Amino acid sequence: MRLPFTKMHGCGNDYIYFNCFNSEIRSPGQLSVLLSNRHLGIGGDGIVLILPSHRADAKMRMFNLDGSESGMCGNAIRCVAKYVYDNGMVKKRNLQIETLSGIKKLYLSTKNGRVVLAKVDMGKAELAPEKIPVKLKGNVIARPVKIGGKEYAITCVSMGNPHAVVFCKDIHKIDLPKIGPQFEKNALFPEKVNAEFIEVVGKNHLRMRVWERGSGETQACGTGACASAVAAVLNGHCDKNADIKVRLPGGELTVKYTDETVYMTGNCVKVFEGMVEI
């Protein structure tokens, strides 16, 4: 079977995209494991299916390196918006995309008829522990916990998926391949967790490394950047209703945390198209 695909990335968070408007992909979790391998497959942080929707302009389903499905990805959804706009499937700059975490609104910036930047209304940040979920009582803000035999002050936020944010002096000194899995699979997080390690660079300016559940360390995580900006406001490091720059290994995202919602703005880049035999 031959499948056409498009490789795209947002801030280096790269996925393999399949247009499923007129075709069906069976066992997408297995396909993600097969194709995401950077040595034996196409290579990426997972695969994304672009599907028709009865509720929005398009629907997104995304699968991680290990085959698990995620509810939301802020970087992938910008690329989905770019794909449907650039390919003439949806010709409007304000559109809606359905995800497992609800319908998200996007506002597109174009150049020469192609989308180069997208702003996403990521929805309200969820702090209630049972909705994140995390097995702690009350809002978890700078809460001391022991993970892997070491104490960390964690702030927990859901942006459609669970996040545990830790502030530190130097993110480059974090042994993320060791610590990341300890966070991801800790019993505190019944649905596993994405772990963000944040360095405060300056006023409304953060530097971030992320360990994503099901994928490991990635170049960027849109929901993680949003959760980190929210955590930074809650911990007094950044301002509410301000543009917060979040610098990731793959690029920079701009996040604004308001009472009503969280906005995230970043690039979306088409790398190449191809055909794969499975």
Residue at 5: amino acid letter = F
Q: Which long-range contacts (CB under 8 A, 24 or more apart) does 229-233 make?
A: 229/255, 229/256, 229/257, 229/262, 230/125, 230/157, 230/159, 230/257, 230/262, 231/141, 231/155, 231/157, 231/163, 231/165, 231/167, 231/196, 231/198, 232/167, 232/198, 232/200, 232/206, 233/257
Among candidate residues 67, 10, 61, the one with its CA nearest the CA of residue 35:
67
Q: Which residues are catalytic?
A: 73, 221
The neighbour count for residue 142, using CB atoms within 10 Å, is: 15
